[in-house]
Amino acid sequence: MQVIVTKDYDEMSRVAAEIFAEGIKANPEIRLGLATGSTPVGMYQCLIEKNKAGEIDFSKVVTFNLDEYYPITPDNDQSYIYFMRHNLFDHVNINMENVHIPNGQAPDIDQEGKDYDALMEKFGWTDIQLLGVGRNGHIAFNEPDDELVAGTHKTDLTEDTIDANARFFASIDDVPRQAITMGVGPIMKAKKIVVLISGANKHEAFEKLLSGQITTQCPITLMNLHRDVVIIADQAAAEGK
Ligand code: F6R
């Protein structure tokens, strides 16, 4: 596990964007696993700039997002498909046919999870998976628990996550209570995983990750089992202040 500590959020974003840009240059048909939330926004901005400058080409890039609220419609400005369009896809030359996000209004959500995994398997899983981390250590919406689920599945959000995400909604009552999330199986099948950690409120998760102890009560610690992980943390996350 490689750990890079940057002076601030902007540097974290630039370092991460460089890894993804190099990946796209080396393999224009690269399969990327993408995340939402506030952490990757700066990195997406850097990738948009590189695309506009002609440095990277998204036309053949294939993406799989980690998760989506459930139930939610795609036109809801808090849906993750809306977020991805707004923060990346609408600003680069990606082919939307190559974009995959779990369907937050699938009539059969269990089948949706199985179909999502089957599709990822057909593509040979992802080459680089981007992860943020919840302040409780969650990855995607795999929340701390006695057991974790391997496949893509519907899940209940914890009160901590609902509380953390309330900042994006008009009121905490508007935050969906459930989501469909990639399970830890597809995440761990990525050839390379890039984890972004920003802000003092993520310090505890950062410390647990670096402790080397692995526990389902802090899902980010599973990164210790993967052979190619790059952690990029800003100083606030690394030092907790
Ligand atoms: C988002 C996701 C979540 C976030 C995490 C951190 O697709 O899977 O695990 O990465 O909740 O969110 P932010 O970046 O908003 O602190």
The CATH number assigned to the domain holding 181 equals 3.40.50.1360
In sequence order, the β-bridge partners of residue 234 are: 6
Ligand 1 cavity residues, CB under 6 Å: 35-39, 66-67, 132-134, 138-140
Instruction: Report CA(178)–ligand 1 centroid distance (Å).
Output: 14
Strands 99-100 and 62-65: parallel
**C-alpha 169: how far from its chain's center?**
20
- Tell me, yes or no, whether 233 lies in a domain: no
Quick check: is 143 catalytic?
yes
Quick check: is 65 catalytic?
no
**What does the pLDDT read at residue 210?**
98
Backbone phi and psi for residue 181, each to the nearest 5 degrees, phi listed first: -130, 145
Rounded to 5°, the CA angle 45-15-211 comes to: 120
Read off the pLDDT band of 202 (50, 70, 90).
Answer: very high
Q: Specify the DSSP element, H or E, that contains 84.
A: helix 80-87
- Tell me, yes or no, whether 38 lies in a domain: yes
Of 12, 32, 36, the one to substitute when testing ligand 1's pocket (max ligand atoms within 8 A of C-beta) is 36
Quick check: is 138 catalytic?
yes
> How far is it, in rounded angstroms, from Cα 17 to Cα 29?
17
The 10s digit of each residue's pLDDT in 51-109 is 999 999 999 999 999 999 999 999 999 999 999 999 999 999 999 999 999 999 999 99
Q: Which atom of ligand 1 is nearest to the CA of 34?
A: 7
Q: Which atom of ligand 1 is nearest to the CA of 181?
A: 8
Quick check: is 136 catalytic?
yes
- Tell me, yes or no, whether 203 lies in a domain: no
Backbone phi and psi for residue 57, each to the nearest 5 degrees, phi listed first: -120, 120
Instruction: Report CA(133)–ligand 1 centroid distance (Å).
Output: 6
- Tell me, yes or no, whether 70 lies in a domain: yes
Which residues lie closer than 8 Å to 189 by C-beta, 6 or more apart?
120, 125, 126
**What does the pLDDT read at residue 144?**
96
* Residue position matching structure tokens 């008009």: 170
Confirm if 1 and 224 have CB atoms less than 8 A apart.
yes
Q: Name the domain count of the chain.
A: 1
Full residue range of the structural domain in which residue 188 is found: 7-193
- Tell me, yes or no, whether 131 lies in a domain: yes
What's the pTM value of the predicted model, to 2 decimals? 0.98
- Tell me, yes or no, whether 224 lies in a domain: no
The 10s digit of each residue's pLDDT in 155-201 is 999 999 999 999 999 999 999 999 999 999 999 999 999 999 999 99
Percentage of the chain surpassing pLDDT 90? Answer: 100
Q: Which runs of E-coded beta strand occur in 66-177?
A: 67-70, 99-100, 128-131, 153-156
